[in-house]
């Protein structure tokens, strides 16, 4: 019983900190952030993007940073990119879309997943 309690406590603490999302069975890193980055990068007006997701139970929430051809991001394009990201998988929940402050950046830190297009 003590072993089970320690395991559950460790899992609860791990779930509370911001880490790279894992598969539902915790076997490996979840491929969904990469899939979202690829789907968003396929948009004709997006020249680069990076994503940062975290787990909230079974769901993933996060931010999609985009660099656009004209450097602008209007509400219609924001909605389109959000819908593209959420359509990747049912686990993708809340998605914020922002202009990337470092256009075309290739840095990858803290679970960021970059993708470039065009």
- State pLDDT tens for residues 29-64: 778 889 999 999 999 999 999 998 887 777 888 999
Q: Is residue 85 part of a domain?
A: yes
Output the domain CATH number for residue 45.
3.30.70.1350
Q: Is residue 12 part of a domain?
A: no
Q: Domains in the chain: how many in total?
A: 1
Q: Is residue 100 part of a domain?
A: yes
Domain range for 51: 20-116
Location of structure tokens 């359509």: 87
Cβ 96 vs Cβ 81: under 8 Å: no
Q: What is the pLDDT of residues 5-21, one digit of tens each?
A: 788 777 766 665 555 66
Distance, CA of 41 to CA of 58 (rounded, Å): 25
């Amino acid at each position: 019983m003590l072993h089970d309690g320690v395991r559950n406590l460790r899992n609860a603490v791990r779930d509370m900190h911001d880490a790279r999302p894992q598969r539902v069975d915790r076997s490996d890193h979840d491929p969904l952030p990469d899939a979202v980055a690829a789907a968003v990068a396929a948009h004709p007006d997006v020249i680069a993007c990076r994503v940062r997701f975290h787990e909230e139970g079974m769901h993933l929430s996060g931010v999609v940073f985009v660099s656009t051809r004209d450097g602008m991001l209007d509400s219609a394009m924001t909605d389109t990119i959000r819908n593209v990201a959420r359509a990747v998988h049912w686990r993708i929940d809340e998605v914020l879309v922002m202009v990337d402050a470092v256009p075309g950046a290739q840095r990858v830190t803290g679970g960021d997943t970059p993708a470039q297009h065009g």
